[in-house]
């Protein structure tokens, strides 16, 4: 399938993309080759092939939550640049 520069200009207007004159020929060739490839894919016999949404098997990567001892507040606050009343002190952002 061949696409014309006029169609590229129309697509550019629809997408609100300004395509410079010197690039229109290059964009036209690239989109034409992409459309030709899509036509090749449409010609493939895919009967008996199940549709897939994921190429790789979906596996839950989360670990089980386990209660474990945590860092004592005093030690955590000792590592902070500033603390106040048992909390981390950070600069205000508003």
Q: Are 9 and 24 in contact (CB under 8 A)?
A: yes
- The pLDDT of residue 26 is 93
How many Å apart are CA 61 and CA 27, to the nearest integer? 41
Domain extent, residue 13, equals: 5-42
Residue 16 lies inside a defined structural domain of this protein? yes
Q: What is the pTM of this model?
A: 0.49
Residue 91 lies inside a defined structural domain of this protein? no
77's enclosing H/E stretch is helix 73-79
The count of other CB atoms within 10 Å of the CB of residue 83 is 15
Residue 57 lies inside a defined structural domain of this protein? no
Q: How many domains does the chain have?
A: 1
- The pLDDT of residue 42 is 92
Query: How would you class 14 by CB atoms within 10 Å of its CB: exposed for 0-12, middle for 13-18, buried for 19 or more?
Result: exposed
Looking at the predicted structure, is the pLDDT value of residue 1 above 80? no
Residue 18 lies inside a defined structural domain of this protein? yes
């Amino acid at each position: 399938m061949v696409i014309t520069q006029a169609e590229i200009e129309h697509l550019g207007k629809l997408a609100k993309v300004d395509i410079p004159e010197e690039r229109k020929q290059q964009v036209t060739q690239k989109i034409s080759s992409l459309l030709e490839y899509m036509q090749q894919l449409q010609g493939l016999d895919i009967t008996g092939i199940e549709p897939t949404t994921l190429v790789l098997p979906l596996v839950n990567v989360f670990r089980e939550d386990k209660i474990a001892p945590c860092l004592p507040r005093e030690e955590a606050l000792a590592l902070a640049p500033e603390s106040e009343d048992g909390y981390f002190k950070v600069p205000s952002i508003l």
